Amino acid sequence: MSAKSGKTSKAPPLDTLRAEYQRKDLGPGVRGKYLKQHAQGTNLVLLQPEVAKVFPTPAAVNEASLG
């Protein structure tokens, strides 16, 4: 048996643009554009269905946590 098996990939490297895209059409890059939003983080929480029934809205959660 041969050491090679399976299909060979003909996909382009991930660091190149497709032919239909031109770098000049993408506009200038802005370094740090979303840095403030990223630094603030997130406060998403995944609730179990039973808990979600008790707290159906964000206001209900806030009221319980402040109460």
Domain boundaries, the chain: 43-67
Whole-structure pTM value: 0.32
DSSP code of residue 42: -
* Helix and strand numbers, DSSP H then E, in the chain: 3, 0
Distances (CA, A) of 4 to 1, 10, 29, 66: 9, 16, 42, 63
- So what's the pLDDT on residue 2? 53
- So what's the pLDDT on residue 12? 64
Q: What is the pLDDT along the chain (67 residues), one digit of tens a residue?
A: 555 666 676 776 777 778 888 888 888 889 999 999 888 887 777 889 998 899 888 888 888 877 5
